[in-house]
Amino acid sequence: MTKVIVVTSGKGGVGKTTSSAAIGTGLAVKGHKTIIIDFDIGLRNLDLIMGCERRVVYDFVNVINGEATLNQAMIKDKRLEELYVLPASQTRDKDALTKEGVEKVINELGEKGFEYIICDSPAGIEAGAILALYFADEAIVTTNPEVSSVRDSDRILGMLASKSRRAEQGLEPVKEHLLLTRYCPARVHRGDMLSVEDVCEILAVPLLGVIPESQSVLKASNSGEPVIFDTESDAGQAYQDAVERLLGNSLELRFVNEQKKGFFSRIFGG
Ligand SMILES: Nc1ncnc2c1ncn2[C@@H]1O[C@H](COP(=O)(O)OP(=O)(O)O)[C@@H](O)[C@H]1O
Ligand SMILES: [Mg+2]
């Protein structure tokens, strides 16, 4: 059985691509045949974060237009046997993707035995984002702990419930997961950010994980290594937990409380 999972948010810059890369990689680490598809036409962030940007020859739009086969466009990960990326095109217009084209690609990936198809959505709630979520069985709603992001996530939840194929065909609804990213317990403590509890209460979606704001994310994206490989880092570990939960295992939340300050920072501030 193939599961199509969209990583979506409404708002841009909240961590969708970071999360698509980390979670897709985490599923492949667990032995699941996984492909991450970049729906963000024109931007091409995913291949940079995955570290395969130099190997892009054909892309998603080429496949949809019949200019390349899926086999020609899929990039196999260098590190993991079970992991593939389908890059977005950099130059074409944003309307290059069609529902029929996307459906054909998703069906073909199913025939190739992919267990997980991770759709990295563009920002917004217009055509591109709707197309990214249309075929989803599950949705990872990526949200930052701030009012504008929560509001946009709420809009996306509305779209999932009304504009997805599952909604159109009256099937079981898209299974929703909340992923709280760029979480900073100290700022929550100061009242500058919403808490996990606040966001959960407003959105009322089961929590998949809380990813702390972390330097390791930038380091990882600069080196083209999904942050989940950085097993020493808090963000890497938080993504590992999220993958476990996605696979049905229940784990306690980590990294949601303010770290006790050490002796020196208590004395000298910081
Ligand atoms: N947990 C995190 N800690 C620190 N920075 C993060 C974190 N998650 C994402 N970022 C940064 O936020 C920016 C936007 O992330 P990205 O994944 O591209 O978001 P989106 O795909 O939603 O636009 C990037 O610069 C990324 O490095
Ligand atoms: Mg992105």
CA of 111 to the centre of ligand 2 (A): 27
Q: What is the pLDDT of residues 20-63, one digit of tens each?
A: 999 999 999 999 999 999 999 888 799 999 999 999 999 999 99
Q: Are 120 and 142 in contact (CB under 8 A)?
A: no
Nearest atom (ligand 1) to Cα of 221: 27
**Average pLDDT across the chain, whole number:** 94
Nearest atom (ligand 1) to Cα of 45: 18
Continuous H helices in the chain: 16-29, 46-50, 60-64, 70-73, 99-111, 127-134, 147-163, 165-168, 185-189, 196-203, 215-223, 234-246, 263-268
Q: Is 246 in the pocket of ligand 1 (CB under 6 A)?
A: no
If one compares 102 and 10, the residue with the highest pLDDT of the two is 102
Q: What ligand is nearest to the CA atom of residue 242?
A: 1
Q: Which of 125, 148, 114, 124 is nearest to 5 (CA)?
A: 114
- pTM for the whole thing? 0.95
| pLDDT greater than 50 at residue 259 | yes
| pLDDT greater than 60 at residue 193 | yes
3-33+99-111+122-247: in CATH 3.40.50.300: yes
| pLDDT greater than 90 at residue 173 | yes
Q: What ligand is nearest to the CA atom of residue 184?
A: 1
Q: CA-to-CA distance for 154 and 9, rounded, in angstroms?
A: 9
Q: What is the pLDDT of residues 218-248, one digit of tens each?
A: 999 999 999 999 999 999 999 999 999 999 9
Q: Can you give the three-state secondary structure of 53-122, one letter per residue?
A: HHHCCCCHHHHHCCCCCHHHHCEECCCCCCEEEECCCCCCCHHHCCHHHHHHHHHHHHHCCCCEEEEECC
| Segment 133-162 mean pLDDT | 97
| pLDDT greater than 90 at residue 270 | no
Q: Is 36 in the pocket of ligand 1 (CB under 6 A)?
A: no
Q: Is 16 in the pocket of ligand 1 (CB under 6 A)?
A: yes
Q: Is 213 in the pocket of ligand 1 (CB under 6 A)?
A: yes
Nearest atom (ligand 1) to Cα of 40: 21
Buried residues in 170-185 as b, exposed as e (16+ CB within 10 A): eeeebbbbbbbbbbbb
